[in-house]
Amino acid sequence: MFTAAALVVAFAAVLVLYRAIKGPRVYDRLLAVNVIGTKTVVLLALIGFMYERPYFLDVALVYALINFIATIAFLKYRELGRLD
């Protein structure tokens, strides 16, 4: 069950990857990367269940935080040209 769900999530991420490659704008790419990132969080949680290692959840939580901060930081940099 977890394997099937993980495969579906990975397939969805591959579909979105097409948008990240094609663009056309930088915002489309960022949107796609952000969506792939949040799918990765779910994928990590599912992998933790597949191999019965709950420690993966900590990785997923940290990845969710990093993904969010990265998107915001990139947008801020693009808008202001600096990060302080």
Partner 1 sequence: MDLRVVLAGLFMAAGCFFLIVAAIGILRFPDFYTRMHPAGKADTLGQALIIAGLIIYWGINLVSVKLLIIALFIMVANPTAAYALANAAYASGVKPWKKGEERK
CA distance 32 to 41: 14
In the shown chain, the binding pattern of residues 36 to 65 toward partner 1, with x for contact by CB under 8 A and - for none, equals --xx-xx--xx--x----x--xx-xx--xx
Using CB atoms within 10 A of its CB, is residue 5 exposed (0-12), middle (13-18) or buried (19+)? Answer: middle
CA distance 74 to 84: 12
Q: Which of 21, 25, 83, 84 binds partner 1 (CB under 8 A)?
A: 25
Contact criterion met (CB below 8 Å) for 20 and 32: yes
Closer to partner 1 by CB, 79 or 84: give it: 79
- Give how many residues touch partner 1 by CB under 8 A: 40
3-state secondary structure of 24: coil
Site for partner 1, rule CB under 8 A: 1, 5, 8-9, 11-13, 15-16, 18-19, 24-25, 27-28, 30-32, 34-35, 38-39, 41-42, 45-46, 49, 54, 57-58, 60-61, 64-65, 68, 71-72, 75, 78-79
